[in-house]
Amino acid sequence: MNVRDIHDPRRRELLKMAGAAALLCALPFGGRFAWAQSAKPRIGLIGSGNVGSALGRSWARAGYEVMFSSRELESDKKLAADVGSKARAGTPREAAAFGDVVVFAVPYGALPELGKTLGSALKGKVVLDASNPFPQRDGEIATTAREKGAGVVSAELLPGARIVRAFNAIGAASMGKAYETPGRVGMPIAGDDAKAIQIASQLIRDLGYEPVPIGGLAMGRYLMPGTPLAGEHSPDEVKKIAATLKP
């Protein structure tokens, strides 16, 4: 930098902008660069039931590439064909490898096995945990998750993943319609990784929800049906409710 650069405010500002752009391009993201509007992260969905299919449809509508996966590949292929050119189908392992961000929308009882089979593909990736533990359906692991907190236990079952709990307390039917009234409904989320929270927040906002971080994974125990945060609330209401809760 020469003397003219130092004393010319306009040139200084241009240099700052150039430096910021270079820094952004250098940030790693799941093997690729941090995304700008023209390069959104790919999303792998593990589970394509009511929640997984609604989320995948909505993200595809918002311009994201998505891959649906479940135990029924043929059903996923039909779903992807119906969603359109932004969607494809694969096995859970393929979806985990495909996604810069991976979304788990499966019965909680499936997480222990998925953690074993997909473990290496998840390390370092942002994982949105939309699975809820119900003991009557999911057995002992669900009981453990309710006692210790679903976020904490999910982190144990999916080691190395940068977990954010989200989409746990709002009905699947509304997930495909939130874009019609953007920002009206707050989406409570919990996680320990600040960058993962930032990435999850952008994905959530692109669906039409306003993300509301409520704390670390220990607060994930409140992100499920039957808790004060269940159902639809405005962003301010989510903040007020969360302020009354303890990890």
For residue 222, is it within any domain? yes
Tell whether 9 is covered by a domain.
no
pLDDT of residue 38: 52
What is the reported pLDDT for 23?
Answer: 37
Given this model, what pLDDT does residue 39 score?
82
3-state helix, strand, coil in the chain (%, to 5): 50, 15, 35
Task: State the number of CA atoms in the 13 A half-sphere of 197 facing the CB.
Answer: 15
- In the prediction, which pLDDT does 3 show? 39
Residue 119's pLDDT is: 87
Q: Which long-range contacts (CB under 8 A, 24 or more apart) does 72-78 make?
A: 72/48, 75/48, 76/48
Amino acid sitting at position 143: T
Q: Which residue has the higher pLDDT, 7 or 139?
A: 139
131 has a pLDDT exceeding 70: yes
Query: Residue 206 domain-assigned?
Result: yes
Q: Do 220 and 190 form a contact (C-beta atoms < 8 A)?
A: yes
Nearest to 221 by CA among 185, 187, 192, 245: 245
Q: What is the pLDDT of residues 55-111, one digit of tens each?
A: 999 999 999 999 999 999 999 999 999 999 999 999 999 999 999 999 999 999 999
Domain contains 24? no
Answer whether residue 118 is part of any domain: yes
100 found inside a domain: yes
Q: For the purposes of burial, counting CB atoms within 10 Å of the CB of 242, is it exposed (0-12), middle (13-18) or buried (19 or more)?
A: buried
Pairwise CA distance, residues 154 & 129, whole Å? 8
Residue ranges with strand state E in 47-95: 66-69, 87-90
Checking if the pLDDT of 34 tops 90, the result is no
CA distances from 85 to 79, 131, 139, 176, 191 (A): 11, 27, 38, 18, 32
When pLDDT is cut at 50, 70 and 90, the band that residue 132 belongs to is very high
pLDDT tens figures, 187-201: 999 999 999 999 999
Count the neighbouring beta carbons within 10 Å of the beta carbon of residue 179: 14
Q: What angle do CA 91, 94, 95 make, to 5 degrees?
A: 85
β-bridge partners, 67: 44, 88
Q: Is the pLDDT of residue 1 over 70?
A: no
Query: What's the average model confidence in pLDDT over 26-34?
Result: 37
Q: Say which CATH number the domain at 215 has.
A: 3.40.50.720
Q: How many angstroms separate the CA atoms of 129 and 106, rounded?
A: 9
Residue 36 located in a structural domain: no
Task: Report how many domains make up the chain.
Answer: 1
Give the angle subtended at the CA of 127 by the CAs of 125 and 131, to the nearest 5°. Answer: 160
Q: How confident is the model at residue 176 (pLDDT cuts 50, 70, 90)?
A: confident
Q: What is the pTM of this model?
A: 0.84
* Distance from C-alpha of 174 to C-alpha of 167, rounded to nearest angstrom: 11
Residue 130 lies in a domain: yes
3-24 pLDDT per residue, tens? 344 344 444 433 333 343 333 3
Average pLDDT, the chain: 87
Residue 214 structural domain: 41-242
